[in-house]
Chain A
Amino acid sequence: MLHLITELSKYTMIILFALYTYQCFSALKRSVDKEEQAEKYRSQVVYMYLFHLNAYAVLYLSMDKNLEVLKFYLMQVAFFAVVQVCYSIFYRRVSRLVVNNMCMLMCIGFVMLTRLSYDHAMKQFQIAVVSMALTMLIPFFISRFKYLKSLTWLYALAGITMLGVVAVLGAVSHGAKLSFTVAGIAVQPSEFIKIIFVFFVASMFYESTEFIQVVKATVIAGLHVIILVLSKDLGAGLIFFIAYMVMLYVATRKLYYFFGGLFCGAVASVIAYYLFNHVRVRVVAWQDPLAVFEREGNQVANSLFAIGTGGWFGMGLNQGMPNKIPEVKQDFIFSAVAEELGGIFAICLILVCVSCFLMFLNIAMQMKDSFYKLVALGLGTIYGFQILLSVGGDIKFIPSTGVTLPLVSYGGSSLLSTLIIFAIIQGLYLLRERTETEQAPERKKKKKTGSKSSSSKKKSSVRKGGAASHEENIHGTKIEDFD
């Protein structure tokens, strides 16, 4: 009977998540008006709760009907409800899609972690509650505090000091000095410094994009990357590097910086390959994991066994063997999802992450102030690139770099830092809303005095800037910006 329920649930969960994913993109259509959009976002919440219920029903039945699992489920329901309610009371103007995606990704994370290790799932949940409470204030601060863009050198100082301290003192884990322990909690500073780093680069280029400024910024950015590489955190080093290159290119609009930087990056990668054994190990495992199964290829091969055996529809929750993959809770959670929930579900998971990324870049394009534009761009790049590294490594698209899948993987630092990023983005959505309401009356005045020839153009921008615009316009303009 249990087997039957698990088998049927495979399909119902895929359908629910596919419907959810469909709404992520169908709501972006230009023809969708505000009410329809709100309706779609409400339906997403319903799909999420149904998926959540379905998943925990299977988990409850397959985990010896443990009442703890039911209690845990109810706590999560309460948690998601509180998050949803808080955002709709305090931050009415934020992007509902980003809120939904944030909850959905955490929801998938809780389901998978409960299946992999109940204790870890519980710990992750506790961290999520605390992190959510802390980050709930961030959108407010971001939208009010204007001096963030003038703390340039403070960011640099904080970032380099923290990274340096970790490199020197940090505990050695997996051949990389990544974390230190504060009050029993292992903190991985690079997860937070990447956010500070984005603020640093954004404020540098906000001040100026003159050559001398670029040199200064590059030196500091290079210092970050070098410390990360020396402490063997190559995944993080790569993320910092790409974030910097993207921000540099967009701020200066000079393609040769971009390609020059990428070329240097390529050369550095080759040097790293010959210099560091643990880089070579990853490449060897990527080339042919089965040939070196006993040693280097074990992790990637196990990941591919999981994904392959799961197929398009998955083995069913609790029916696979994801725990055979080393580090499955952190770096290889995507493989566990693909194995048990299926390839279709996994593709949808990528699409939901893509939808988050698009919302990050969307707000970057919407902002008027170049500082905030660059912040949103930098955070979006970090988020998007981390998805590529994590999923790409799991499926052998690229060599594995040991990067977590944000919001889904186990890990306190990863979860908190991603929630901070999401909260900052929400803050920008609020900020955009505020500045546009402030500017709207001014523009109306201008329109009256302005020349007739340009009036039609202005009219459209006024409509866009109107206080009531909200999300409809976000998407409307986004598509316009794409041409």
Chain B
Amino acid sequence: MKKIFTERKLKTSTKRSKNREFVIITYLFVGAFIMMMGYFAYFQIFRSEDFINSPYNTRQNTFAEHVVRGEIRSSDGKTLAQTIVEEDGSETRYYPYGSMFAHAVGYDCNGKSGIESFGNFSLLRSHAFFLEQVFHGIQDKKNQGDNVVTTLDYRLQETAYNALGGNRGAVVALEPSTGKIFAMVSKPDFDPNTIGAEWDNIISNTDSENSILVNRVTQGLYPPGSTFKILTTLEYLREHPDYQDYSYECTGNIAMENTEIHCYANAVHGAENLETSFAKSCNTSYANIGLGLNKKKFADLCNDMLFHTDLPISYPSNQSSFVLKESSNTDQVTQMAIGQGETLVTPLHMALITSAIANDGILMRPYVIDHTENYKGIPVKNYKSSTYGSLLTKEEAQKLQGFMSKVVSEGTGSKLSGQSYQAAGKTGSAEFSNNKEESHAWFTGYASTEEKGSIVVTVIVENGGAGSTAAVPIAKQVFDTYFSR
């Protein structure tokens, strides 16, 4: 009996395990198939838009055979781009506000740019009422494409556009708590209504200063000047918990190995602490601060702050850059600390840093398409605001908020004081050539009220002189418009 039992046990165990390897192989393959199908679904859901909207993808243009391109609208209901269909069926793309929204909305002729480019897929899809589509299908008529409703605010765009006037430069305004872009102005600009006729002229003009197709908000690379002191200050705060004890006697200049650093307009600031150095934008004090910083940590901080990184934005953008190595000499370090030297930033990048500070350290991903809807106004897809990440801690952000408030109350941003809103920010006057008399005027800051929340505005006026006189007033007009409602 015992013998039979063991024999049986043996048999069953060999039978059980006979196909064990086959089962393992089957599972391995089925697992691989499931992963592959999972990747396919992942691609369709999360990655496909990058490819659909790629300028290399000519497929979406075939949609135009069956769909009339939809409208692009501002958040306050203004039509920014529309397609007009003539009696004979010919179509023209019309931009009611001409060059005011040139870079933000883009063009649709000889390629595409701006929202016309990355919103193309939505504009050429129709979610018109099902039966209407059937009806059109029978008659072989085109369906009306979906409208793209942007976060752009007509009044703010108009204000910024007029305020910048005939200057070259850029203005960007966004909401720090959501990342919604309210205004995006870049000059010099072009009229998207006539760009087709002028195309040859535009591209044959290779003068880099005037390159009108460049969206200076996302692609313009400028020395940040004193606006960069925000990051120098942050690094100092991190390295020196006793930052309140900092003191410096400004004599108007400080000698380095080969160069001398002057305060702007040869001012002499006298005795300062960190806060007044920041508020008065004292170059010599910041050169002094820069010398004491840990180069490795400072470089890491800048990299965490989106330098050498693609900005999270649908528009084509350039990476901001700086050079700081262990081997950098004191000239390079001090130039870096005051935002000169080899450091280059885009205006949007400065706006995002400011946005993170205003939002207690959290950067919201900037976006410009709020939602799409069919031509009758029924929503199709909503784009929600999303967090990009935490760039600095809440405590650090609040300290910097205090510093930036002081700029307005006591320093270079005083034109913004005494308003119905609380403003804060940092000015800059960035030298861009050997001529010390010439500088780009910068302002980056935010303003808020209890009921309307806050708005970030970043302004650069090329060769505008001092930030406090050329850039701050533009920001003020945008703030005034925003809070006047």
Q: Tell me the A residues contacting B by CB distance below 8 Å.
A: 1-4, 7, 246, 249-250, 253, 290, 293, 301, 304-309, 311-312, 315, 319-321, 324, 343, 346-347, 350-351, 354, 357-358, 361, 364-365, 373, 377, 381, 384-385, 387-388, 391-392, 395-397, 451, 453-454, 457, 481-482
Known: A4-B134, A354-B30, A457-B8. A346 touches B22 (CB 8 A): no
A481 adjacent to B19 (CB under 8 Å): yes
| A contact residues around B137 at 8 Å (CB) | 1, 3-4, 7
| A contact residues around B33 at 8 Å (CB) | 350, 354, 357, 384, 387-388
Tell yes or no: B66 within 8 A of A by CB. yes
B140 adjacent to A1 (CB under 8 Å): yes
Q: A308-B49, A388-B29 are in contact. List 6 more A-B contacts (CB 8 A).
A: A1-B140, A290-B54, A290-B56, A361-B22, A365-B19, A385-B29
| B contact residues around A306 at 8 Å (CB) | 59
| A contact residues around B60 at 8 Å (CB) | 309
Q: Report, nearest first, the 8 A-B pairs whose CB atoms are least far apart.
A: A4-B137, A308-B48, A308-B51, A250-B21, A305-B57, A309-B59, A365-B19, A304-B51
Q: In the bound complex, how far is the Cα of B42 from the Cα of A307, in angstroms?
A: 12
B36 adjacent to A397 (CB under 8 Å): yes
Known: A3-B66, A361-B26, A384-B29. A451 touches B43 (CB 8 A): no
- Count of chain B residues near A, Cβ 8 A: 45
Q: In the bound complex, how far is the Cα of B30 from the Cα of A206, in angstroms?
A: 26
Pairs across A and B, CB under 8 Å, 7 listed: A1-B138, A304-B43, A308-B49, A350-B33, A391-B36, A395-B39, A453-B4
Partner of B51, one of A253, A290, A315: A290
Q: Which of B297-349 contact A (CB under 8 A)?
A: none
B4 adjacent to A250 (CB under 8 Å): no
SS of A interface (majority):
helix
Tell yes or no: B58 within 8 A of A by CB. yes
Known: A250-B25, A307-B43. A319 touches B56 (CB 8 A): no
Q: In the bound complex, how far is the Cα of B30 from the Cα of A392, in angstroms?
A: 14
Partner of A308, one of B8, B35, B36, B43: B43
How many Å from the CB of A190 to the closest CB on chain B?
A: 21
| A contact residues around B5 at 8 Å (CB) | 453
Q: In the bound complex, how far is the Cα of B58 from the Cα of A357, in angstroms?
A: 37
| B contact residues around A453 at 8 Å (CB) | 1, 4-5, 8
Tell yes or no: B32 within 8 A of A by CB. yes
Known: A1-B137, A309-B60, A350-B33. A301 touches B54 (CB 8 A): yes
| B contact residues around A307 at 8 Å (CB) | 40, 43-44, 48, 51
Tell yes or no: B85 within 8 A of A by CB. no
Residue of A nearest to B65 (CB): A3
Q: In the bound complex, how far is the Cα of B15 from the Cα of A457, in angstroms?
A: 12
Q: Which of B42-73 contact A (CB under 8 A)?
A: 43-44, 47-52, 54, 56-60, 62, 66
Residue of B nearest to A370 (CB): B18
B51 adjacent to A301 (CB under 8 Å): yes
Tell yes or no: B247 within 8 A of A by CB. no
Residue of B nearest to A304 (CB): B51
How many Å from the CB of B369 to the closest CB on chain A?
A: 18
Q: In the bound complex, how far is the Cα of B133 from the Cα of A3, in angstroms?
A: 10
Tell yes or no: B294 within 8 A of A by CB. no
A397 adjacent to B39 (CB under 8 Å): yes
| A contact residues around B48 at 8 Å (CB) | 304, 307-309, 311
Q: In the bound complex, how far is the Cα of B121 from the Cα of A388, in angstroms?
A: 31
Tell yes or no: B167 within 8 A of A by CB. no
| B contact residues around A395 at 8 Å (CB) | 36, 39-40, 43
Known: A305-B59, A343-B40. A361 touches B66 (CB 8 A): no
Determine which residue in A293, A319, A357, A361 has the highest number of CB atoms from chain B within 10 A of its CB, and name it. A361
Q: In the bound complex, how far is the Cα of B37 from the Cα of A249, in angstroms?
A: 27
A377 adjacent to B40 (CB under 8 Å): no
How many Å from the CB of A33 to the closest CB on chain B?
A: 24
A482 adjacent to B23 (CB under 8 Å): yes
| B contact residues around A361 at 8 Å (CB) | 22, 25-26, 29
Q: In the bound complex, how far is the Cα of B234 from the Cα of A162, in angstroms?
A: 71
Q: In the bound complex, how far is the Cα of B60 from the Cα of A451, in angstroms?
A: 74
Tell yes or no: B382 within 8 A of A by CB. no
| B contact residues around A346 at 8 Å (CB) | 40
Q: In the bound complex, how far is the Cα of B26 from the Cα of A358, in angstroms?
A: 7
Q: In the bound complex, how far is the Cα of B45 from the Cα of A311, in angstroms?
A: 9
| A contact residues around B40 at 8 Å (CB) | 307, 343, 346-347, 350, 395, 397
Q: In the bound complex, how far is the Cα of B134 from the Cα of A1, in angstroms?
A: 8
Known: A453-B4, A457-B12, A481-B19. A293 touches B56 (CB 8 A): yes
Q: In the bound complex, how far is the Cα of B33 from the Cα of A4, in angstroms?
A: 35
| B contact residues around A305 at 8 Å (CB) | 51-52, 54, 56-57, 59
| A contact residues around B23 at 8 Å (CB) | 365, 481-482
B4 adjacent to A454 (CB under 8 Å): yes
| B contact residues around A365 at 8 Å (CB) | 19, 22-23
Q: In the bound complex, how far is the Cα of B41 from the Cα of A210, in angstroms?
A: 45
| B contact residues around A364 at 8 Å (CB) | 22
Determine which residue in B22, B47, B48 has the highest number of CB atoms from chain A within 10 A of its CB, and name it. B22
B44 adjacent to A308 (CB under 8 Å): yes
Q: In the bound complex, how far is the Cα of B30 from the Cα of A321, in angstroms?
A: 32
Residue of A nearest to B29 (CB): A384
Known: A320-B59, A451-B4, A457-B12. A388 touches B22 (CB 8 A): no
Q: In the bound complex, how far is the Cα of B48 from the Cα of A307, in angstroms?
A: 8
Residue of B nearest to A383 (CB): B29
Q: In the bound complex, how far is the Cα of B6 from the Cα of A454, in angstroms?
A: 12
How many Å from the CB of B139 to the closest CB on chain A?
A: 8
| A contact residues around B52 at 8 Å (CB) | 305, 308-309
Determine which residue in B29, B50, B62, B133 has the highest number of CB atoms from chain A within 10 A of its CB, and name it. B29
Q: In the bound complex, how far is the Cα of B66 from the Cα of A315, in angstroms?
A: 12
How many Å from the CB of A91 to the closest CB on chain B?
A: 24
A312 adjacent to B56 (CB under 8 Å): no
| A contact residues around B25 at 8 Å (CB) | 246, 249-250, 361, 377, 381
Q: Which of B195-213 contact A (CB under 8 A)?
A: none
Q: In the bound complex, how far is the Cα of B33 from the Cα of A397, in angstroms?
A: 11
Contact flags B440-468 to A (C-beta < 8 A → 1, else 0): 00000000000000000000000000000
How many Å from the CB of A332 to the closest CB on chain B?
A: 14
Known: A250-B21, A301-B51. A321 touches B140 (CB 8 A): no
Q: In the bound complex, how far is the Cα of B60 from the Cα of A387, in angstroms?
A: 29
Partner of B8, one of A7, A324, A454: A454
Q: In the bound complex, how far is the Cα of B51 from the Cα of A446, in angstroms?
A: 66
| B contact residues around A3 at 8 Å (CB) | 66, 137, 140
How many Å from the CB of A390 to the closest CB on chain B?
A: 11
| A contact residues around B59 at 8 Å (CB) | 305-306, 309, 315, 320-321, 324
Q: In the bound complex, how far is the Cα of B25 from the Cα of A351, in angstroms?
A: 17
